[in-house]
Chains A and B, each alone.
Chain A
Amino acid sequence: MPAGYSPLERARRRQTVLTIVALIVLALAALALYQFAWVTGSWSYTMNLRARQVGALVVAGVSVGVSSVVFQTIAGSRILTPGVMGFDALYVLVNTFVVFLFGSATFMTLSVAQLAVVNTAALTLFGVLLFRGLFRRHSRNLLVLVLIGIVMGALFASLSSFASRLLSPDDYLSLQSALFASFNTVDATLLAVVAVITLMGCAMLVPVLRHLDAIDLGFEGAICLGVPYHRVVSWCLLVVTALVATATALVGPITFLGLVVANLARQLLRTHRHRPLVVGSAAIGVVSTVIGQLVVARLLNQSTPLAVVVNVIGGIYFLALVMRTVRL
């Protein structure tokens, strides 16, 4: 630790590092529990299936954790996450329209990997265009952004359901299987492609993490310190949309997961620096998806989807946050 930090600051920093280590250990423990406990059928079959599921949970957890913390910073608010702003609903919409426009025939000729890449690219393009404009116009007004996000989430969801009614039953089925890449079987190729996209996304964030620290000072504060604000924000939006796509492709849309994960990370790590925040948030993301899925699979016997469980808890948390920030 270089000079220039007081003993109290050193202690705070040590605490942050220890918390991250503890979170990673917890994540690994949860993964081991998921992988090895409660095996009933064939050992090798179960191990193979669960390894793919564990992979999917890790990738989704990391994507959600990282994208949410970064999004909170560029949105300048702790209650705005990609989920709250309707990003994952947008993913479903984009997919539905791809099927709607090209039909399932085209859809089927694409490999899983190609499809994942096409989807991610389409979502990223559309997401960046949409949300960049929005940020520039309303970046000062938090309530407007929250409202727009919720309206857009609902709009995207109803547009998707409308478009899916217009599909033929065959198209509809192939859409469903493409969308909610049935977590119970997890396609190995899909997982590999999505993992690569996620890794690339995280790597792209590394050079801007220190800029993000300064962006926490707000638009004007960051400009005064010479941060290329618009460039960094656009870059981060690009990565965030890609990460949302990968997470959604694996576990489906879970609106409030990111909100809970990112805020927990900020609360537990007690730092404004993004290097530890992003790592900690990724670990918390993994812990929550794995424990959530454990509860769903082992305790609730798959009777309730993960998204429902998370959204009940997350939705209450979101309300509490909004009430506290806004004091209605």
Chain B
Amino acid sequence: MIELSGVTKTYDGQAVLTEVDVTIPRGRLTALVGPNGAGKSTLFGIASRLIVADAGHVTVDDLDIARARNEEVARRLAVLRQDNTLAARLSVADLVRFGRFPHSKGRLTADDHRIVAAAIAELELEPFRDRFLDQLSGGQRQRAFIAMVLAQDTDYVLLDEPLNNLDLRHSVQMMRRLRSLVDDHAKTIALVLHDVNFASAHADHIVALRDGIVVAQGPPEQIITPEVLSEVYEVDVSVLDHDGQRVAVYFR
């Protein structure tokens, strides 16, 4: 379980997050949704120890991430960031191998190589494994970074907009893959999603954020409702039932 309690962050006097309490339950897929500027990425950054909160704290199981040794956190928690520009010129395989760094400090064992190969295969990157990242499309690049996160093989995985740059097929595949990591491999996954319908279709738990405040958190049945979504996004939303899937409609 990842627990954020009383998290507050202010940039230049502007509150981005105010006293946020969020629980990311163990063994579940949690989606973080909300409009632009709601503080999703800041909250994500604080949960993944890349941004230091002004107040409040974050614990991963029994570990306080502000106090724990960075390498210990890295063995429990893998992070996909939104901005993935690199100074170095790396091939896909080079990048995915970095996922093993917290475990082997760059001296890869046979086990490490096996895990790396599995992650590359899992994301269908085998045809590109020796290509350099700057020779890939946006979607292939995104998958390479996700493969690195998978190779890190941690109990907890945080992903900031993993569907960025992915087309419909790859988005659905990605969500199914994450779903199976939770269901079959007992991972705990939290991700920032732009599309509420993906959250509705795949998440176990949804946290809705607006103006740096948690507006609602709970199972999809409670969040994907016209009342809650209209309040979160400030547009009129209706929710349809399609064979048991709740689909938000807000296009007109």
Q: A residues bordering B, Cβ < 8 Å?
A: 2-6, 8-9, 73, 76-78, 210-211, 213-214, 216-218, 220-221, 223-229, 272
Contacts and interface: CB of A to CB of B under 8 A. Distances in A.
A10 to B, nearest CB: 11
B70 A227 contact: yes
Contacts of A73: 87
Given A218-B86, A220-B81, A224-B74, A6 B93 contact: yes
B98 A214 contact: yes
Best-surrounded residue of B48, B88, B90, B110 (most CB of chain A within 10 A): B88
Nearest to A76: B87
A8 B110 CA distance: 19
Interface string B64-86: 00000011111100110101111
Nearest to A210: B106
A272 B116 CA distance: 18
Interface residues of B, number: 40
Given A3-B113, A224-B78, A226-B71, A214 B50 contact: no
B113 A272 contact: no
Contacts of A224: 48, 50, 74, 78-79, 81
A6 B110 contact: no
Contacts of B89: 272
B106 A226 contact: no
Contacts of B116: 4
A272 B130 CA distance: 14
B130 A228 contact: no
Interface in B89-115: 89-91, 93-94, 98-99, 101-102, 105-108, 110, 112-114
B117 interface: yes
Nearest to B86: A217
Interface string B10-36: 000000000000000000000000000
A6 B130 contact: yes
B70 A223 contact: yes
A211 B91 CA distance: 18
7 contacts: A210-B106, A216-B87, A224-B48, A224-B50, A225-B102, A228-B71, A272-B90
Contacts of B84: 221
B194 interface: no
Contacts of A211: 105-106
B55 to A, nearest CB: 21
Best-surrounded residue of A76, A217, A224 (most CB of chain B within 10 A): A224
Nearest to A231: B70
B106 A214 contact: yes
Given A3-B113, A214-B106, 7 more contacts: A2-B110, A4-B116, A211-B106, A223-B49, A226-B72, A226-B73, A272-B89
Contacts of A76: 87
B129 A2 contact: no
A230 to B, nearest CB: 10
Contacts of B87: 73, 76-78, 216, 218
